[in-house]
Structures are given as C-alpha cells and as structure tokens.
A = this chain, B = another copy of it.
Amino acid sequence: MLKHIIFDVNETLLDLAALDAFFAGLFGDSRLRTEWFLTLQECWMTNTITGQYQAFGDLAQGALRMVAARHQVEVGDDQCQTLAAGIKSLPAHKDVHQALQLLNDNEFVLIALSNGALEALQQQLEFAGLTDCFEHIMAGSEISQFKPAVATYQMVAQRLGIATDQMIMVAAHAWDIAGAAKAGCRTAFVERPGKVLNPIGTQPDLIGKDVQDVAIKLCAGKL
C-alpha cells in the first residue's frame, strides 16, 4: 500500500473562493477569479515551455493586471498587494482538516507541494492551520520549476529517497494529474466546485468529491 501522499495546495486544500469578494469589488463579477487563475496558468506554463522562471507571486499579480487590461479596469499596486495578501490568508476547504487528520492517523506521510514560493506556502499552511499535518512542505521555487513539469514531482521523490511510483498526487487540477502521472506517480482528482478533468486528457487513478472522500478511499486501500 502506498503511504506517501503529495497534496496540491491552492484550490485542492485552500479555498480560493475567499478571493471572490476581491474580484467582485474590482470587476463587478466574482467569476473573473476563474479567468484570473486561467491567465495565471498561462503565464507559468509559458515560462515552463520557454525555459524561464519568475516567482509565482509576481505572476499572480501580472495575471491580475492582464485581466484588468482585458476588461479595461484600472488596477494599481494597492490592488496587487491586496490580492497577494489574500492568497496568503486563504481558509482551508471545510473537509480538509478532518481528512488530513484521518490520513495522519492511518500513518500516511503527507507532503504539501505548491507552485507558490516556499515561504509563501509556509505562510499559507500556517494561516490555514495545516502546518502540523505535513511531514514535508516543498515548492517548485526550490528548483525554479512549476508543476506540471515532471522535475517537481521527481524532486519530491528524490528528497524522500523513494521512486515516483511510490507516491500518490492529490489535486483538483487536470494539469497536475497529467504531470504527476507522466512523472510516474499514482493520482487522485478532487472534484472541487468549478474544477474539471479534461475528458480526453490523462485520467486519474481515483476520483473523490472532496479531500475527505479521497482520504476515506485511500484509507480503504483503493490505491
């Protein structure tokens, strides 16, 4: 039975809907949060494909300016800093604490792996009260790589001294599932609101309606 579980953080564990009020205030439409996150993805994936690296926080602010320019709304440094602060103070989804506790109790080794910078990730987990649930906290910033680049998942395996096929990646993102599977990990997809798989893309080994559901299935030896 696999005992090492890597968790994606933003959206999988932490609830970005907490930023809805910010987007509603700025654009008059909280749905622009989805467009912002997709634009942010475009930015970091473009960096990965072209072999460049910029900090996730800088890209998050750049993506906000792109969405603002697209919708002809003015944003300044103040709004960018409000967004940055908001990202660092997201609540956990309601099911997360109990789910991680269940996995801890069942002797799984939990690893948090984010595209956010390591220090920001540590702040996020601390704010959400999740730090103690994780044996390891790692970030793509440590090797200047973003998921879904296989190097990020390989970094985790190397540090743990195990093979990638000894790890399970849990994420609410289709691209994270695709990258982890390519790296050789087993995968579990979390069906958070608005998060969907690519029907013709890489399919996960397991699907849960939330992290609690995934945790119960993993404890039952479903992977």
Contacts and interface: CB of A to CB of B under 8 A. Distances in A.
Interface of A: 34-35, 38-39, 41-43, 45-52, 54, 58-59, 61-63, 65-66, 69-70, 148-150, 174-175, 178-179, 182, 194-202
Nearest to A194: B70
Contacts of A38: 35, 38-39, 41-42
For this chain, the copies found in one complex come to 2
Nearest to A200: B62
Contact of A42 (B58, B149, B175): B175
A61 B174 CA distance: 16
Contacts of A39: 38
Contact of A179 (B46, B61, B200): B46
Given A194-B70, A198-B66, A199-B65, A150 B35 contact: no
A133 B48 CA distance: 34
A178 B46 contact: yes
A53 B200 CA distance: 11
